[in-house]
A and B are shown apart, each in its own frame.
Chain A
Amino acid sequence: MEALELLRNGFAVAIEPQNLLFAFIGCALGTAVGVLPGIGSAAAIAILLPVTFNLAPTPAIIMLAAIFYGTNYGGTITSVLMNMPGEAASVVTCMDGYEMAKRGRAGAALAIAAIGSFIGGTVATIGLVLSAELLTRSALQVGAPEYFALLVLGMALLTGLASKSFLKSVMMAVLGLLLATVGMDPTAGSPRFTFGRLELLDGLSFVPVVMGLFGIGEILINLEVQGRSVFQKRLGSLLLTRDDIRQSVGPITRGTLVGFVLGLIPGATSVIASFLSYSLETKVSRTPERFGKGAIEGVAAPETANNSFVNANFIPLFALGIPGTASVAMIMGGMMANGLVPGPFLYRDHADFVWAVIASMYIGNVILLILNLPLVGLWVKLLDVPYSILFAAILGFTTLGAYAVSNSPFDIFVMLVFGFLGYAFKKLEFPIAPLVLTLILGPLMERNLRKSLEMGGGDFTILFDRPLSLAVLLIAAALALLPLLRPLWGRVEVLRSGQETS
């Protein structure tokens, strides 16, 4: 196959020492950026862009791409070890990853995250090689109505996140949606609930909110009672048991698919990918009550989805020049500054460059696996630092991060407020996950609903006229109603078999 031939040539270029070096630098930097809260890959790429102007295009783009998909690896580390999401997308990993760490299984969490990420990223890159254009054109079928339907599906998956009290989960979901309305509304740009504050015109900034809910909230809980030991002693070996691997196969597979599909849709973000993947796992699992208490599936799936998403994001870029996220848009900028315009002619005019970058994405994923897996032991050692010092480091980190998101002290306040809320919710046994999920999905849902109505002239039927969005909505309805129908079905079965229910 011609593609494989070109890929082979690409590998030959990608393993040239200079390109390898820059791939390595990119991976290392990406991991570092991921660890640092508040600085996302988009910012890092933007800052390093001028540096790349002095480099040849191939090593430059190899490095920038490596930063992009490398950040996910770094974000996992702080999520697992400190309940602090270094990247928006790593929020989901906090939920089970940190619980695993508290039970002495931090090593396993980090290991499965690295492995899952590697698999997800590699599979996505294979997709890039095999059928970039076909995939992109298929993904283009997703317009605002389909996206809205997909988000509704995400909300339907919420029912899997329900904890002990269904009522409390619903309250949190509604609260999340209400908080999501803060800011300018998508209809007319009117400010909602902004209390005259400029900084709220864009809504509540996501990263400070989750750093508060998870990171600061956790610190407050731990400080409240003196002498509480936070982390259990490490359990035996830090590697994965056979059970772990067995349990992770399904989640990794599903995570790869979810991340891959979402990565093709321009405008989707990796947070959505990891959240949907996590929610899907809770629905699919036969023992959903283990989630939130250190279930390894809760780490394997979102981490895989994350990485699969990020690598799949390159597909629309290379095929048609459509950047799906801000970071990819920056990489596109870098390419264009070097005279390489992503679009229909890229493969034709600059084949060697394209295939070299694609080949280096494989290599990058390998590098990241090699970089991160052995380092797991080192990271876990961090937990040996006495909490009375560690908590201060976490405080410093989160404060820096909250500020750095938008260079705004207001975000530190936001983090503060949500830190207190995170603490309060935990004490009152309110589940935080539904809140975070609806906070992410809410604004997107309203915007896409609005856009769909604009497309349909104010008519809601546009959502049902289009086959794809109708199909997704039906699935969502089925998923939402299923838990309600099951007990009914059980009763029917019992009646049929002639037995009396007591």
Chain B
Amino acid sequence: MRNPLRRSLGLVAAVVIAACGGAAPAGSAPSASVTASAAPKAAWPAPGKTISLIVPYDAGGAGDVGARLLAPYLEKELGTMVEVVNKPGAGSQIGVTELSRAKPDGYTIGFTHLPATIAVYLDPERQAAFNRASLQPIAMYVVDPNAIAVKGNSPYKALKDLVDAAKANPGKVTLGDSGILSDGHITTLLLQEQTGAKFAVVHGAGGAKGIADLLGGHVQAQNVNLSGSNIDLAKSGEIRLLGIFDDSTNPNYPGVTTATSQGYKISVATSRAISAPAGTPKDVVTILSNAIKRAMAAPEFTAKAASSGLSLRYMDPTQLEAYWTDLETRVKPLIDLAKK
């Protein structure tokens, strides 16, 4: 048969073409980018080497815009290319799994959304291939606190009204969230635990649909976050926030008090942290974290982030660890409860 000969010729041709064409693109930095402590710290990142920033959601999905907004500013701070890579699927499980398996040299980092990531590795049914120890937190990027909203013409004016209604009609007052073990669901579970009230928990599929459900009268109350178009919806009176589950009030929502001040000690938010695979050298982590901090502080970036509705909140690795641990401790007992 002539074919095997042709095929080998083809392969040789391919290698030759590849070798020639390959001279230009990705730099040929030797794989000694992560070396023993003998290498000078200033050598990281090696010029010409691209850093992959994994977004475990679809292009255009949760966190993707925020990531793409940050990338160019991060490039400036690090002096090398930062490339957003989408690895969507299974509520971030696929992307984070890949992140945890990447080489811990600092050239692969990614977003770990909380509480989503925690829910993934704590839930036995998910059979996650990673856990807390597989990840090295680098910095916190965005923290968007949770709140409960009702339709503008609803009779409920404060959290107490809602809770009382639920206590009077157990299992009948509908309270929506954006999915099982989402930040909204966690808020609902904690609220039920603290007050003994029982809501009809409705799992939706995300922010916009949740608002649509609320405005259409399909749920009586909805767990929402503070950023984005909700600000205008609240200002115009279309929706009303009963309470914010955070340590402080928010200037975009004048008149809305924290849940704590109303007597419910609950603080839940959806947040986006940037992590690296465990084992990434400490000095690399520091460099990355500082670069992220400076990028987030750039005035041009802050302006864009503000108008995009991103509530930036930087945390360094230590603070992030503490936040993560705290959240994990609170979520753990809720896993079984959530699955009923």
Tell me the smallest distance from the CB of A313 to a CB of chain B, in Å: 12
Q: Is A142 an interface residue (CB 8 A)?
A: yes
**In the assembled complex, which residues on chain B have CB atoms less than 8 Å from the CB atom of A189?**
123, 125-126, 180-181, 339
Q: Which residues 295-349 in A have Cβ within 8 Å of B in the complex?
A: 316, 320-324, 326-327, 329-330, 332-333, 336-339, 341-346
> Are A46 and B90 touching (Cβ within 8 A)?
no
Q: Contacts A329-B208, A341-B229: A198 and B58 contacting too (C-beta < 8 A)?
A: no
- Contact status of A457 and B307, CB under 8 A, knowing A143-B218, A329-B60, A344-B233: no
CB distance from A333 to the nearest CB of B (A): 4
Q: Which chain A residues lie closer than 8 Å to B236 at the CB level?
A: 343-345
Contacts of A50 in B (CB 8 A): 68-69, 71-72
Q: Is the CB of A140 within 8 A of B58?
A: no
- Asked if A267 and B309 sit within 8 Å, CB to CB, the answer is no
Q: How far is the CB of B325 from chain A (nearest CB, A)?
A: 24
Report the count of interface residues on B (CB-CB < 8 A): 61
Secondary structure at chain B's binding surface: helix, strand, loop or mixed? mixed
Cβ-based interface call for B65 (8 A):
yes
B 317-340 to A, binary, CB cutoff 8 A, 1 in contact else 0: 000000000000000000000111
Q: How many Å lie between the Cα of A218 and that of B117 in the bound state? A: 41
By a CB distance below 8 angstroms, the chain B residues around A339 are 307
Cα A339 to Cα B304 with chains together (Å): 8
Pick the residue among A144, A330, A343 that contacts B229 (CB under 8 A).
Answer: A343
Asked whether A140 and B308 contact (CB < 8 A) given A267-B205, A267-B209, A457-B172, the answer is no
Closest CB in chain A relative to B196 CB, distance in Å = 18
Q: Which of A74-82, A149-157, A284-292, A447-455 contacts B (4 or more CB under 8 A)?
A: A447-455
CB pair B180–A196 under 8 Å, yes or no, is no
Whether a CB of chain B sits under 8 angstroms from the CB of A502 is: no
Given A198-B94, A337-B304, do A42 and B125 touch, yes or no (CB 8 Å)? Answer: no
Say if the beta carbon of A247 comes within 8 Å of chain B.
no
Report chain A residues within 8 Å CB of B94.
198-199, 201, 406, 408
- A34 → chain B closest CB, angstroms: 16
CB distance from B280 to the nearest CB of A (A): 22
CB-CB under 8 A for A266 and B209, given A42-B60, A189-B125, A341-B309: yes
Q: How far is the CA of A50 from the CA of B66 in the complex (A)?
A: 10
Q: Give the total of A residues in contact with B, Cβ under 8 Å.
A: 59
CB neighbours (8 Å) of B127 from chain A are 191, 196
Q: List A residues 97-153 near B (Cβ within 8 Å).
A: 137, 140-144
Task: Give the contacting residue for B88; candidates A142, A191, A338, A406; CB below 8 A.
Answer: A406
Residue numbers of A with Cβ under 8 A of B are 42-43, 45-47, 49-50, 53, 137, 140-144, 184, 186, 188-191, 196, 198-199, 201-202, 266-267, 316, 320-324, 326-327, 329-330, 332-333, 336-339, 341-346, 406-408, 447, 450-451, 454-457
List 23 A-B pairs, Cβ < 8 Å: A42-B60, A46-B65, A140-B217, A141-B216, A188-B125, A188-B338, A198-B97, A198-B129, A199-B90, A202-B89, A267-B212, A326-B60, A336-B309, A337-B65, A337-B304, A337-B307, A339-B307, A341-B229, A343-B236, A345-B232, A406-B89, A456-B200, A457-B171
